Structure 1
Amino acid sequence: MPRKPVKTALYAPPIGRDVNAWREQLRRLDDSGLTAVSVSDHFLVGRQDPIAALAAIATSTRRLRVMALVLCNDYRHPVITHHAAATIDVLSGGRLDLGLGAGYLAAEYAAAGLPYDEPGQRVDRLAESVEVIKALFTDQPVHHEARPTR
């Protein structure tokens, strides 16, 4: 039985004041044999916007998979998420892995002034967004009518 290669990922190093040093860290990770570098979507812990960070990682590396692990669905409209993901995928030469989640940190919702709905509602919104985002990655026109909330 053929052996599958081991896949490894790390969170991207935090962006500091010395952006050139940060890019050099990414280049070393790119050369290390690591499989992927990921960025999460938490604004109370961490100081980098995940979309901007993923774009910068995409242009600073040549081989590593670039992972959104994960973007919170409720922080962005699905059309905006698609637009950003499509741009990062082009910048990375097709290396983006887009992870989406329903959101779970009540404190971040409160800090952003967003309602923290029940888990089922958040999951329903996520499922609807995934449908829209996947459809936008096709060549077909997308017509979508939002589902009523619970």
Structure 2
Amino acid sequence: MLKKYPFNVRVYGLLISQNNQLLISDELEHGMYFSKFPGGGLEYGEGLIDGLKREFLEECFFEIEIVRHFYTTDFYLKSAFDDTQIISIYYLVKNLLLINLPVKTVPFDFGERTVDGIFQSFRWIDLDKLKIEDVTFPADQKAVELLLKL
């Protein structure tokens, strides 16, 4: 008999500006504060690229182009929110149009901005000042570690 395993496929975009800054999303969801990359869960029937493009439209309100695959998690990771196993795929992306997104300088400076009841704000981090601790989750931290080696 075929067993069903609760996998949670996530797809994220690493957007680096012309000023050599990385876009970070600060969020408050389910009472937890966290910093991550723009992106999120893949919906059933959706491909990775389409899912990432949808997530950027939903969260950031602009379209992206995929530059290349960057990293896929290669270790076991349990979700911080439920009992699923997380599989995260990261792509280097670029914006297709000028970014018209309210950007903050302080983490978790939400104001009134919510997306589907989730508080969210964005900020840029200079790549030369980027630290692994700037993101919350282990898969994102691994992506930052790899990004710092470029």
Category of TM-score, reference length = shorter chain: under 0.3
The structure with the largest helix share of the pair is 1
TM-score normalised according to structure 2 size: 0.24
The structure having more radius of gyration, on CA atoms, is 1
Higher relative contact order (CA 8 A, sep 6+): 2
The structure with the largest strand share of the pair is 2
